[in-house]
Structure 1
């Protein structure tokens, strides 16, 4: 298991009207930046297994806690968490370090932001590595509206939007239990329970499956959310329909070379038409659930480093 003491010390950096808590490593590799974007409900610490491997491979690693997370700013307005602001934080971070562009790596919500960044600011992205969440096609209806039709009002994306504040309060009251129950692998498939699944998870005493990290590692996530609360991070979900409108103006095709890593046991479906929207994509499946880079750190590192090497050759 990873020793939390080995993680880089953070710096607070002012960008785009907020402060981001940034964990940086490999400054000796300046000129070869790679930016790591975590998902929900996570923390830059989710990349603890990747950072040393990337530094050793010659990368300047920049891993922010994005707005709403950790000690980064948590603006009060919901609209401060739309894709324009989230991608603007990343371009401003590149400006801070003096980089024209970088390779961006995203997991879960971080992947959504990286796809969006490539659509809104293509000139700032030279390569994309995304885990768990494939490119999301912009369909006929705004995303929350479509999800509500297909999955109902209790689906957590919908619930976060239709009942603001309800889930936030439950997670805040049960931070430790919620995160302990969420960060699991080998969870047996079971029929859906009535109610909102994430709230049920925060309240249940019994954690299913196996933990993906040690108690010391989990404590990093728990203490961060006990300090910040969950509202800032959930506000990302409350902008999905707004993002759908913002992205209407962007060309939907992403031209950069891209690596898409799926967890075979993840509940997020693969996107069969991925190569139509991301023509230069290479897809890999690993035998794991949703928390890919934490469940299979060595395999993830091998896949990422091999793909990055191949990009240098071609």
Structure 2
């Protein structure tokens, strides 16, 4: 598998991203992750989506770490400081699942709280369903676990066609367009940093076509099996969606209805677009901390 590694110089002096880099090997590829807070505390696993990286959680990581939690925020393979296979065919839903499984196995992560958004939810919810004994709680913001049995939103179809066919794929501008607030030039530079060439963008380009949109999609059956586990999930399940995301609109109510652990939780609607970590990072982080504090008291 051919891959490229973004030069470290691209990540120098990034705004609000002072975190020490950590790396783990998965399938002979280097996966980067942030690891902040007490090493012996129960971990919060923050999974980013498309086409972002752990920079997305930069304002939330310190808040959760200050509350006494260990916060682990990996860059998915193909994103951030992680290695990036250069062929679109190197990326599949199942391959991403195997990379993430290796990651939590090698770090021996247990008693985790999953925090996920966008593709972080497609991977994270599967990961929790396939390793339920290793997770204590789930927090979803603007995410879903599709099986291909439901109609996809028009906004997603537009996005998919753009990702697959547009000769222009401006990562930072995409994230800026999916946020309510206008990102500053240093923030835009940070989101573009991992992707200095077209070769570096293969993973970001691939993600939209991997979303199950048909009942016979290669990932559909595994996702249905994951839903069967989630429909018996009695541990805390919290939704913190935003009020301005056309892609995942309605997902919070859907999951609250299907997942037992969502009953009685302090679900909230936060202000923001698709990337609510940019628009409401403090409220998002405090929601996580409040859930875990409440769980510890019970």
What TM-score does the superposition give when structure 2 sets the normalisation length? Answer: 0.79
Deviates more, 1:257-266 or 1:15-24: 15-24
1:158 and 1:218, CA in 2 relative to 1: closer, same or farther beyond 3 A? closer
| 1:42 corresponds to which of 39, 45, 52 | 52
Query: Which residue is equivalent to 1:311?
Result: 295
Q: 1:223: Cα distance to partner? A: 1.8
Unpaired runs of at least 5, structure 2: 1-13, 212-216
Among 19, 22, 31, the residue aligned to 1:11: 22
* Distance verdict in 2 for CA 1:249–1:179, change over 3 Å: closer
The one-character-per-residue Cα deviations of 1:122-163 (angstroms, maximum 9, x if unpaired) are 233221111112444x354xx6xx43xx74996223565xxx
8 Å contact from structure 1 (residues 130, 260) kept in 2: yes
Q: Give the superposition deviation at 1:47.
A: 0.5
Deviations along 1:244-273, one digit per CA (max 9) or x if unpaired, are 143244452411321111111221212333
User: Map of 1:26-175 to 2, 5 A cutoff?
Assistant: 26=37, 28-76=38-86, 78=88, 80-136=90-146, 138=147, 140=149, 146-147=151-152, 151=154, 155-157=158-160, 160=163, 164=164, 166-167=165-166, 169-171=167-169, 174-175=170-171
Say whether residues 1:225 and 2:201 are aligned partners. Answer: no
**Post-superposition offset of 1:113:** 1.4
**1:157-236 alignment, distance < 5 Å:** 157=160, 160=163, 164=164, 166-167=165-166, 169-171=167-169, 174-175=170-171, 177-180=173-176, 182-185=177-180, 210-211=181-182, 213-227=183-197, 229-236=200-207
Secondary structure in structure 2 of the residue aligned to 1:229: helix
CA distances 1:169-210 after superposition (whole Å, capped 9, x unpaired): 311xx4555454x2541xxxxxxxxxxxxxxxxxxxxxxxx4
2:31 aligned with 1:20: yes
SS of equivalent residue, structure 2 residue 284? helix
CA contact (8 A) 1:16 1:88 kept: no
Gapped runs of 5+ residues in structure 1?
Answer: 186-209
**What's the TM-score, normalizing by structure 1?**
0.76
Aligned equivalents of 2:172 and 2:243: distance in 1? Answer: 27
SS of residue paired to 2:45: strand
Contact preservation (8 Å) 2:47, 2:120? yes
Counterpart CA distance in 2 for 1:5 and 1:121 is: 33
Higher mean C-alpha deviation, range 65-74 or range 223-232: 223-232
Q: 2:179–2:274: 8 Å Cα contact kept in structure 1?
A: no
